[in-house]
Homo-oligomer: A and B are copies of this chain.
Amino acid sequence: MSDPAVLDPVLDRIDADLPAAVERLFALLRIPSISTDPAHAADCAAAADWLAQDLRDMGFDARTYPTAGRPMVVGRGGDGGPHLLFYGHYDVQPVDPLNLWNHPPFEPRLEETPQGQVIRARGAADDKGQLMTFLEACRAWKMVHGRLPCRLTIFLEGEEESGSPSLVPFLEANRDLLTADLALICDTDLFDRDTPAITTRLRGLLGEEVTITGPAMDLHSGMYGGAAINPIRVLARILASLHDETGRVTLPGFYDGVEDPSPDIRAQWDALGFDEAAFLGAVGLSVPAGEAGRGVLESIWARPTCEINGITGGYQGAGFKTVLPAKASAKVSFRLVGRQDPLAVREAFRAHVRAMLPPDCRAEFRDHGASPASVMDLSHPAFEKARAALSAEWPRPAAFTGSGGSIPVAGYFRTVLGMDSLLTGFGLDDDLIHSPNEKYDLRSFHKGIRSWARILAALT
């Protein structure tokens, strides 16, 4: 448990230092470190340099590391206690369409809103504001106690918004530098304004593209309709067969490795008071469309899916053309949970498609990636300690939640470095990340810094 004599002065220092912390974040936000645009390569390097200098200023042994793309920043400091690695990313999304911004995206400012003050700028939430919550907690600790709370490695990436092409090679080449007892990742959201969350399960993702070919060329549907096989019809039959009437995926063995959440986890989710109607209503829906009898949260956090992400075939322009096309294709993805094996699912999918092919049709497949689900080992004592620390800071108790999406770095930390990740963050649904007018609530920034101070106190 945290010692109040250790923690409380750090929290006081954080409160007193907030205006200066905001100024430091603004300095970082003024650097237009858009990783996907080569014209901003120098800006990315400048952001990396700024962060390395900031880490050195608070006593870290820090520098930038060149890659084939944008540089990495690694800082090492502290000693004793557990060795924790903190991950964040300093690159930001592009800003277009620029005309939808209410003020220049790289001129950060505080704005009053009905929900309180917000920091408005590209990267305010994703991820500069979030990563600075951790650095400011370290800074306050250092200022109060003259040392960092434990052995810390800070690892900041500059390519997260452009697919992280250098990440895995860098992890593989720097295992000794980066391997710690546990990774901390700050790139996720609060469950809601008052409820912090530790994301303990992320779905995996399998992407497949299937193309069905029939006739050797496009045919006229008058001349051949009724005699020649239509690949769109074949594809529709195959896609329609992937789910049964209850919404379950029909592939043999698909649910191998899928487990229901434990009673304890289910109780935490129930206690969140998730508003299904509001969640669906916000996107024009009223009824959960997943497996029969399972609610929205469970469907997204704990159940696998099969979705058709795109389909194309025949004539798609204005008007009508009586073509009987030579081919049709679909992009199909599977979100995976638990111990589902992506490669086994891929094989089951391909075998199912091939088994349904009528004479004269061929199927070709294209692989669009396969990653397993990440499920954190909650028996690691850090998880309950961090949950208690977050619960002390926020109005409502923290919960172990899931995420329907994937955060690849957490998977790579496990597969390359053998390290679990504790993901928490202080963003909100309305932060407009990746959109014009991105913001980060000043309350998220302030309580985020305090949250990390509490977590560091609890883990050390």
Contacts and interface: CB of A to CB of B under 8 A. Distances in A.
A349 to B, nearest CB: 15
Nearest to A242: B233
Contact of A359 (B220, B228, B287): B287
Q: How large is the interface on A (under 10, 10 to 19, 20 to 34, 35 or more residues)?
A: 35 or more
Nearest to A237: B240
Interface in A371-406: 403-406
A360 interface: yes
A109 B405 CA distance: 66
A421 B228 CA distance: 29
A366 to B, nearest CB: 9
A59 interface: no
A308 interface: yes
Nearest to A230: B307
A228 B285 CA distance: 7
Contacts of A216: 283-285
A432 to B, nearest CB: 14
A305 interface: yes
A19 interface: no
A269 B449 CA distance: 84
Contacts of A359: 286-287
Given A225-B404, A226-B303, 12 more contacts: A205-B222, A221-B307, A222-B406, A223-B300, A224-B283, A226-B291, A230-B289, A230-B308, A235-B311, A310-B314, A310-B321, A320-B331
Interface of A: 203, 205, 207, 209, 214-217, 219-230, 232-233, 235-237, 239-241, 243, 279-280, 283-291, 296, 299-300, 303-305, 307-316, 319-325, 328, 330-331, 333, 335, 358-360, 368-369, 403-406
